[in-house]
Amino acid sequence: MDKIILNGMEFYGYHGLYPEENKLGQRFYVDAELFLDLSKSGKSDAMEDSINYGDAYQHVKEIMEGNPKKLVEAVAEEIAESLFNNFPLLDSCRLRVTKPDPPIPGHYQSVAVEIFRERDQ
């Protein structure tokens, strides 16, 4: 399956379970793979036959920098719903939401959730 990939999108948001996360905020990274048939757009060279990745970025940005959620799982679900609602050519998507600096003790590079969703038929 063909895909459009948006890697390493960086945002500052207020999502988190702990009050300090909601007050102080933190960095988040989002990676998105948008699965759709790109053969028509590859032949037509027409934007209406594909997904505008600038528009997709804006939808992700609005959610990441918008109303706080407790869980990044909920953030990922909201992104998927927004993408399906706004891009009728989207067949499925894989999203990874990463918190590089969560307020938990220990040594690690980051924590993340990854979801794969398909359009309801």
pTM of the model as a whole: 0.95
| Average pLDDT score, the chain | 96
Nearest in space to 90 (alpha carbons), one of 22, 17, 37: 37
> What pLDDT, on a 0 to 100 scale, did the predictor assign at position 72?
97
Domains identified in the chain and CATH numbers = 3-118 (3.30.1130.10)
- Residues 66-80: tens digit of each pLDDT: 999 999 999 999 999
Residue 31 CB neighbour total at 10 angstroms: 16
Q: What integer pLDDT is reported at residue 107 of this predicted model?
A: 86
Please report the pLDDT score of residue 103 as a whole number: 86
Catalytic residues: 99
Q: How confident is the model at residue 1 (pLDDT cuts 50, 70, 90)?
A: confident
